[in-house]
Chains A and B, each alone.
Chain A
Amino acid sequence: MPVIEIAGKQINVNEEGFLTKYDEWDEEIAKVLAKQIEVEMTDAHWNIIKFLREDFKKEGETATSRRVQTVGGVPVKEQFVLFPKKPAKKMAYIAGLPKPKGCV
């Protein structure tokens, strides 16, 4: 697995660029990741990213869009506005988590 430099730190990622170690993530890194995929972070974005981080810690897997709506309280429609086209993957990437496994 590659190690790349993000925000001046050595970070483990997979072949696609998703972080592979939960504890290597921090907000500085998230800002760089967001910028790389052209997402401008606002409070609404951070709210989802923080939910994903917390939820992953409890559940051991990345929340799907569905779960971000039902448990995280952010409607799917809003997720598409905040992270256009591919919300589930973009949210996971910025949160330093693997892509969601679930189909729905």
Chain B
Amino acid sequence: MTTTSPAIVPNFGSENSDRKLAIICSKGNLDMAYPGLILANAALGEGVETLIFFTFWGFDMITKSRMNDLQFSPAGNTAMHLPGSNKHLPQAMMPAPGMTAIATKMLKKQIADLDVPEIPDFLDQIVAAGGHLWACRMSADMNKLTMKDLREDVEGIINASDFIEMTEGAQLLFI
């Protein structure tokens, strides 16, 4: 005989949660571009207001002429193993010509196999989910880039103080 428990309704949180997350993306390597976007996407899916600030090498992720060509190099990464084993790949081989291209291709395939989108597509999804993209003033000036060089959904080029001001009370991640 089964006993009926009282109704159980999941707690999806209050509609007006003021939780806010700020993510600073400072890296332009393909492998380091993903963590920030995965977390941003997850936060948006949890109803958390999310702002992303692209600075230094992370600027490549929103620069139209570069965003489709992020690369991954195994050089200096001692956690690289031969596929499917625990054996380390010798670091001395890593700077060899063509190694970055091979590693990039492999990583892109692994990511695509999980149905995770490429960086530009991923940012499309983040913006569609309500995420805000901001570009760093100093990085723009160093690279001589303006708003017309960036994705259309970048909301502006702002300085560090502006970003700190607009993320008051937010949790912050630097990647």
Contact = CB atoms under 8 A, between A and B. Distances in A.
Interface of A: 2-6, 10, 13, 15-18, 36-37, 64-67, 69-70, 75-77, 80, 84-90, 93, 102-104
Contacts of A69: 125
A37 B42 contact: no
A4 B5 contact: yes
B41 interface: yes
Interface of B: 2-13, 15, 17, 38, 41-42, 45-47, 114-117, 122, 125, 128-130
Contact of A17 (B4, B8, B38, B114): B8
**Secondary structure call for the A interface:** mixed
A76 B41 CA distance: 11
A37 B9 contact: yes
Contact of A86 (B4, B8, B47): B47
A80 B6 contact: no
A103 B14 CA distance: 23
Nearest to A71: B115
A61 to B, nearest CB: 11
Contact of B45 (A3, A10, A86, A93): A86
Contacts of A18: 10
Nearest to B12: A86
Contact of B116 (A37, A76, A86, A104): A104
